[in-house]
Each structure stands twice: as structure tokens, then as C-alpha cells.
């Protein structure tokens, strides 16, 4: 197996690239949590899935580029790439991602409201019919109540 300095430097740069990808994934995850505000159990599940995803990214890059050999410079590159992303690139990419996510949410809400409009109109017409049906249901009850109320008068005649 050829382990020249050039190949090791390439592996280091690849691990830095993996750290940058992990930083981007963290940024996306952080912004989605900011927008959706999940509950505690959902947060626990999302955290677990996030770390599984980061682990898969790490091991995929590790297996693809240096045949899964664990070296110190691989870990340094991975963590260095993540820190590089979070300290420098995140300041520029986070607002952009936030605008994209807000745009997607607004489009989703618009489509949802557009699709709900016929249902709202149908519900209004059905509401009127329900009111009429409920009035018709009350007639026998009111008649029985009136009969009981005026029972003495009715049976005396």
C-alpha cells in the first residue's frame, strides 16, 4: 500500500471536506430546529438521527479515501473542517439557508391554504345543513316535553 506524503495530504484534505459537509449538515439541522421548534422527544430522536448521519458521512469518506485506516490527521481534518465551517462559512451560509427554508415554508402554507379554500366553502354549506338537521331533531324532543308539561290538561279533556 502506497502511503506517500501526497496521498496522506489528499486524505487529510478529504477529511477536511468531510468536516465541512458535517458543518453544513449541522447548520441545516440547527436552522430547521429554529423554524419548526420540535418538542423534547422529537428533539431527542432528531439528535440521534443527526449523529447517525454524521457518523455515516465520516465512515463513508474514511472508507472511500483511505481504506478505513484511522489516523490522527483524519480526525484532525474532520474536526478542523467542521470548526472552519462553523467559524467562517456559517456566517454567510446560515442566512441564505434560513431564507430558503422560510421560502419553502411560505410556499407550503400558500399551497395548503389554496387547497383548504374549497373545503372551507364546503364546510360552510354543510354547517347550514347541520343547523337545519339539528333543528329537525329537536322537534320530537320538544313535542314530548310539551306533552309532558301539559299532560294534565290533555288527559282531562
How much is the average pLDDT of 43-71?
Answer: 87
Domain-located, residue 25: yes
Q: Give the C-alpha distances (Å, rounded to integers) separating 87 from 24, 62, 63, 114, 148.
A: 12, 24, 27, 41, 82
Domain-located, residue 93: yes
Asked if residues 79 and 43 have their Cβ atoms less than 8 Å apart, the reply is: no
Residue 51 is predicted with a pLDDT of 92
Q: Which residues contact 78 (CB under 8 A, 6 or more apart)?
A: 15, 16, 18, 19, 22, 58
Domain-located, residue 153: no
Rounded to whole angstroms, how far apart are CA atoms 111 and 125? 23
How much is the average pLDDT of 7-31?
Answer: 90
Domain-located, residue 86: yes
The overall pTM is greater than 0.85 = no
Angle at CA of residue 138, ends 134 and 141, nearest 5°: 155
Domain-located, residue 106: yes
pLDDT, mean over the chain: 85
In this predicted model, what pLDDT tens digit does every residue of 111-122 receive, in sequence order? 988 888 887 887
Domain span at residue 56 reads 5-119
Whether the pLDDT of residue 63 is over 90: the answer is no
Domain-located, residue 40: yes
Domain-located, residue 63: yes
Domain-located, residue 133: no
Smallest CA-to-CA distance from 78 within 27, 156, 18, 144 is with 18
Whether the pLDDT of residue 34 is over 80: the answer is yes
User: How many domains does the structure of the chain reveal?
Assistant: 1
In this predicted model, what pLDDT tens digit does every residue of 84-108 receive, in sequence order? 999 999 899 999 988 998 899 899 9
Amino acid at each position: 500500500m502506497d502511503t506517500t506524503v501526497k496521498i496522506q495530504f489528499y486524505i487529510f484534505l478529504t477529511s477536511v471536506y468531510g468536516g465541512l459537509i458535517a458543518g453544513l449538515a449541522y447548520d441545516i439541522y440547527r436552522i430547521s430546529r429554529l423554524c419548526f421548534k420540535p418538542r423534547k422527544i422529537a428533539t431527542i430522536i432528531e439528535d440521534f438521527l443527526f449523529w447517525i448521519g454524521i457518523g455515516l458521512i465520516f465512515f463513508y469518506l474514511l472508507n472511500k479515501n483511505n481504506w478505513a485506516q484511522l489516523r490522527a490527521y483524519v480526525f484532525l481534518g474532520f474536526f478542523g473542517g467542521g470548526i472552519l465551517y462553523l467559524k467562517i462559512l456559517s456566517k454567510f451560509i446560515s442566512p441564505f439557508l434560513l431564507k430558503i427554508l422560510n421560502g419553502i415554508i411560505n410556499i407550503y402554507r400558500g399551497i395548503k391554504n389554496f387547497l383548504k379554500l374549497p373545503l372551507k366553502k364546503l364546510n360552510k354549506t354543510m354547517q347550514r345543513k347541520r343547523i337545519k338537521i339539528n333543528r329537525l331533531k329537536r322537534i320530537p324532543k320538544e313535542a314530548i316535553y310539551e306533552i309532558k308539561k301539559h299532560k294534565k290538561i290533555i288527559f282531562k279533556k
